[in-house]
Amino acid sequence: MLKEMLELRNLPPLKEKAEMLDVLQREEYGYLPPKPDRVDFYVQENIIRNFCAGNAVCNKVTAFCEMGDKRFAFPFYASMPTDGKKHPFFVHINFRSNIPDTYMPVEELIDNGFAVLSFNYEDVTSDNKDFTNGLAGVLYEKGKRGAHDAGKLALWAWAAQRVMDWAERQPDALDLTHAVVCGHSRLGKTAMLAAATDERFTHCYSNDSGSCGAAIARGKGGETVEQICARFPFWFCEKFNDYREKEEKIPFDQHYLAACIAPRKLLIGSASEDAWADPVAEMLCCLAASAAFEKGFVCEDRLPEVDDCYLDGDIGYQLRRGLHYFSRTDWQRLMQFVMK
């Protein structure tokens, strides 16, 4: 059933990774800014008293980035177990700076043996059409950008990679063989882009990311390219507006983004009542990208059902009951996938 459904979508075939990454950045997200010439970090230790009953510390870290004669800084938060062991970790691109947060049960993650590095995406640049503030203001003179310059998703992805720069400097505390970038909704799209363009992330989790994230655009239900570009054109490069109401004309689809994460590991999460994201289109993306992974998508040949949890392949999929939300169930299945 699923293969037949996929054939009807008439997707472009997978290509070499470099070619797929180039077309995704040139036509959809814009090219990520280059790595900084230098990154330094300032750490404020133990900013939350009695954090996690003393089983972890929460440090505030500020990344100072130099790019030629330009400077940019943003904060993130490192929630680190205090048992002296090396831990797998999440780089969580979040909507808020809260520790813990509605979308981030930090103590539960710590108790399961993970460290958590998180940041508020709007500490990088605002989630609107204003390109004069934060990182955007540093990169774009008077807020003006070219047709293929980075949109906001690419700028947030670049920031996640700077958090990974800090993680690399903590080899005694962080297990770099289990480095997970994750996010929800627009930040699930961001997490996929961050992982696709940075092989230091060994795992990626995209939660309810839908259109222009983990959902195939051709034949998609819910949010379309026209609708997402009408509301959020600043997430993408200017060129992407050419494809409004023209999904069939796009020279790629979202399986390219998923495939660019191979041969590393990718988990895509859906919610049963999140029709706007379209769980079927998200599951089909896993199948369409499967061939890029050493152990591809392993699933039953049917439409997704509540509590489906396909974790055996290097690309996995899970569907939980409920609405558009980053839930504890999502985190629990993610931890299972990472440590399998």
C-alpha 271/C-alpha 251 separation (Å) is 28
Please count the structural domains in the chain. 1
Model confidence pLDDT, tens digit, residues 72-85: 999 999 999 999 99
CB 144 within 8 A of CB 131: yes
Residues that are catalytic:
185, 324
- Residue 159 structural domain: 2-338
Residue 209 sits in a domain whose CATH number is 3.40.50.1820
Cis bond upstream, residue 100 (ω within 30): yes
Model confidence pLDDT, tens digit, residues 57-107: 999 999 999 999 999 999 999 999 999 999 999 999 999 999 999 999 999
Whole-number average pLDDT of the chain? 98
pLDDT at residue number 171:
96
pLDDT at residue number 162:
98
